[in-house]
Amino acid sequence: MYYDKVESLERDEIDALQADRLRKVVETAMASPFYKKKYAEADIDPASIKTVDDVRRLPFTTKNDLRNNYPDGFLTRPVEDFVRLHVSSGTTGTPTAVYYTQSDLDKWADLMARSMYCCGVRKSDVLQNMSGYGLFTGGLGIHYGSERLGCLTIPAGAGNTKRQIKLIRDFNVSVMHIIPSFALYFAQKVRDEGFEPKTMPWRIALIGAEPHTEDTRKRIEELMNIKAFNSYGMTEMNGPGVAFECEHQNGMHIWEDSYLPEIINPQTGEHVKEGEIGELVMTTLTREGMPLIRYRTRDLTRFIPGKCACGRVHRRMDRIAGRADDMLIIKGVNIYPMQIEKILMAMPEVGQNYLIELIREKFIDQIRVKVEIKDEFFVEDMRVLQSLQKRIAAKLRDEILVTPRVELVMHNSIPKSEGKAQRVVDLRDVEG
């Protein structure tokens, strides 16, 4: 049932393990220039860490700290002790670099293998990794985990839909790792190429790396006739394999033997009440080369209360509601792109892609949402289309509290990137 023993630990055992590892990681971290200085200033003594709650006495580490100490201010040992380096995608600004020792890589591969096993991937599976290789951790991270689990692993990389389909059919691919926005596009493309999803050999899709809604998952599952499991991670915490859904698909188990998660109010820095949404803060508990302590992820989520039916005690987090950096402020109202996706993906007329444009109308910021409409709904009758457009605008207004401009466009007409989807484009200075 479980990949390793750690998964069946009880709560008190996890707490004890975390407290012990937290003390050790603080000790280790003090060998890095950044934490040495920071903890000396804050007068932190590792020996005083006795319980998990003691984490609250430690200062936060931010993305800016990483940038200001780029590239090697967080390393606990000389560069020659490291064997790998990744750089984050840089979705929200300057990228950050993470270095791994061989032991860090081994532990990461174990976590990845555990993650995949947890949602039903087995040694007998053939896994096609359709995310970009290179600096993006979704490539090598999934790759080594899949090999560790014993799967036949195909490093297909991103893009090239036709070749992807051929590989899947030729080698009986049963598991795909694919970015959700690309999965929607790909699923449609497979149909357009004349293949019936039911006749494809796949059974599991591992989807992650970008925010998506429950309806997006359902669409992927239906279009592909597959089970899709949410995978969460970030370069600063190794990459994928931080939290993963089990077969029950009701939130992602955070691997608490390796990470200490907290959810804080981003304004006050205090813990939110159990079950409330806030900013996820993470501590690496086992990384030796480049530990990060109380790292502010800027991702918004909540812990899901209660125990999962799979029996794992490792706490579950809800799907990411958005990144703090993604928040738009329109007419004084805070809006997250996922609120828009939630409405759109629940509407049967809407196709697989959309784009949010920030525009300026008469000196006032406004949003325009371009929405792909499925072919069968793209009729010639203007009245029908106008009423659909109005209905979408009204539904969006109910969710985001401002009325967006809605533009209906044809299926596959919004450019699709191979990597993470860029949902928002700022045209305020272009069109304004």
Q: What is the 3-state secondary structure (H, E, C) of 190-211?
A: HHHCCCCHHHCCCCEEEEECCC
Half-sphere exposure at residue 367, Cβ-oriented, CA atoms within 13 angstroms:
29
- State the binding partner of 231 from ligand ADP, Zn ion, none, CB within 5 to 8 A by kind: ligand ADP
- The tokens describing 238, both together, are 């190794």
The least distance separating Zn ion from the CB of residue 27, rounded to whole angstroms, comes to 32
- In this structure, are residues 308 and 245 in contact, taking their beta carbons and an 8 Å threshold? no
Least CB distance from residue 249 to Zn ion, whole Å?
Answer: 9
N-to-C CA span, the chain? 58
- List binders of ligand ADP among 227-256 (CB under 6 A): 230-235
Percentage helix, strand, coil, to 5, in the chain? 35, 25, 40
178 belongs to the binding site for ligand ADP (CB under 6 A): no
**Window contacting ligand ADP (CB under 6 A); options: 20-28, 106-114, 215-223, 225-233:** 225-233
Q: What binding mask, one character per residue, do residues 347-376 give for ligand ADP by CB under 6 A, x or -? A: ------------------------------
DSSP assigned state of 61: B
Q: Which stretch binds ligand ADP (CB under 6 A): 64-72, 215-223, 317-325, 356-364?
A: 317-325
Minimum CB separation of residue 97 from ligand ADP in Å reads 11
Site mask, Zn ion, residues 226-255, x = CB under 5 A? --------------------x-x-------
Taking CB under 6 A as the binding criterion, the range among 116-124, 202-210, 388-396, 421-429 that sits at the site for ligand ADP is 202-210
- Tell me the C-alpha distance between 337 and 370, whole Å: 13
Applying CB under 6 A, among 141, 145, 208, 404 the residue interacting with ligand ADP is 208
| Cβ proximity to ligand ADP, 6 vs 209, nearer residue | 209
Spatial separation of the C-alpha atoms in residues 63 and 88, rounded to whole Å: 11
Main-chain phi, psi angles of 338, to 5 degrees: -65, -25
Token match 């599976």: residue? 125
Taking a C-beta distance cutoff of 8 angstroms, is the pair 97, 85 a contact?
Answer: yes
User: Which C-beta is closer to ligand ADP: that of 289 or that of 419?
Assistant: 419
263: phi then psi, degrees, rounded to nearest 5: -125, 120
Site of interaction with ligand ADP (CB under 6 A) = 88-92, 136, 208-211, 230-235, 297, 299, 319-320, 323
Site of interaction with Zn ion (CB under 5 A) = 246, 248, 308, 310, 312
